[in-house]
Amino acid sequence: MKYLVVEKEKICHNAQAVKKRAGSAQIFGVLKGDGYGLGLIELAGILRGEGVTRFAVTDPADALKLREAGFLDEEILVLRSTCVESEVRLLLEAAATATVGSYEAAVVLNAVAAEQNTVVDAHIEVDTGMGRYGFQPGEADKILSVYRYMPSISVTGTYTHFSRAFKGVKYIKRQLAALNSVVAQVRAAGLDPGTLHAANSAALWRCPEARLDAVRIGSAFLGRMPRMRGDIGLKKVGYIESQCVEVRWIARKSQVGYGAAYTARKPMRIAIVPVGYSDGLLAEKARDTWRCGDVMFMCGSAIKGWFSRRRVYAATDAGRVRVIGHVGMQHAVLDVTEISCAPGDTVRFECNPLLSGMMLPRKYV
């Protein structure tokens, strides 16, 4: 059997680190992607135990799942504006807080709420650089019209989404200035922008000014923050656990795996483990941009890996061992020549829970 193992203690540790970093700012626990692969309901329960009472999801259906699982008093913000009436009805059924990112979405939300004789809480999203959802910074008049002409919508917050927080502070501050400009216009009109939030995990650590009234945190709870240097006090959560199913010797010059990518330089003892990229091991998002900077980064990473002889390892009870050859769809081969290893022995692999959690059963420890 193979599992994605989720260490609850590490999530709790990271939650306390986030709370300390956030200071007086409220915390929205972001649960997108089935709780980043850790499980929507399970992660929400662990975070609630650590005092997180506000959550954010991408799909209205996830908000309803949380309500049905007993999260009745927590605020649930849907981080996606929508003009689709069926999604709006689902959002209202879940008593979730809506996101309004366009005048058209506001019209649909207001109409459905009026039909149900209710007033729905909503946060205004301002597009300061992400380019997906949100009013443009120059559309303050449209934002004000939501306050003035949409009586079934109660604006309780305003936010933006940082697009390059992992790259540095200057991008964060640029987008933050655009958001603050819109907020200033709302206040100048005598209206309340509500709870202000912008910081994701990277921005929380990189830019204290971005904390505002609340922060939206996801990856920091997993301890997996891309491009953050040094020890920032978080623990990585999640690993694949499986077992050796066969152990045998191979002769010198034997080749291992697809493409004969590895050739044994001497007789070797190998172990086969039924884990591969279909389980999220070494799987990654495909390249989808080819700007000069992106290509240079890819090339630099590949060259650095070649010079440093970057290798993939697995952990066993007897020690760390190298993965040899290409990782297959459902198999990995380990060099166990120098350690004690037998069929049935436990093997652990580093993984991205967002990928492995979609493919493997989860085991919480």
How would you classify the pairing of strands 246-250 and 268-273? antiparallel
Task: Measure CA of the first residue to CA of the last residue in the chain; give whole Å.
Answer: 16
- State how beta strands 214-217 and 26-30 pair: parallel
Q: List Cβ<8 Å contacts ≥24 apart for 84-88.
A: 84/108, 85/112, 87/60, 88/60, 88/112
Tell me if 360 sits within 8 A of 2, measured CB to CB.
Answer: yes
Q: Which of 320, 305, 324 is nearest to 250 (CA)?
A: 324
Tokens linked to 266? 């001497």
Select which of 173, 258, 304, 313 is catalytic.
Answer: 258
Structural element, H or E, at residue 127 = none
Contact 31, 79 (CB under 8 A): no
Alpha helices for 235-291 (secondary structure H): none
Q: Which tokens go with 106?
A: 């506001």
Phi, psi (rounded to 5 degrees) for 211:
-65, -40
How far is CA 35 from its chain centroid? 7
Catalytic residue check, 32? yes
> Rounded to an integer, what distance in angstroms lies between the CA atom of residue 53 and that of residue 298?
40
What is the distance between the alpha carbons of residues 178 and 158, in angstroms, rounded to a whole number?
12
Give CA–CA dist 240/68, Å, rounded: 29
d(CA 27, CA 218): 10
Choosing from 3, 8, 19, 32, the catalytic residue is 32
Inter-residue contact 216 to 25 (CB < 8 Å): no
Length of the chain: 365
**Token output for 114:** 């009026």
Residues 220 and 143: their CA atoms lie apart, in Å, by 32
Nearest to 256, CA basis, from 320, 340, 334: 334
- Provide the residue type at 76 as one letter: I
258 in catalytic set: yes
Catalytic residues: 32, 258
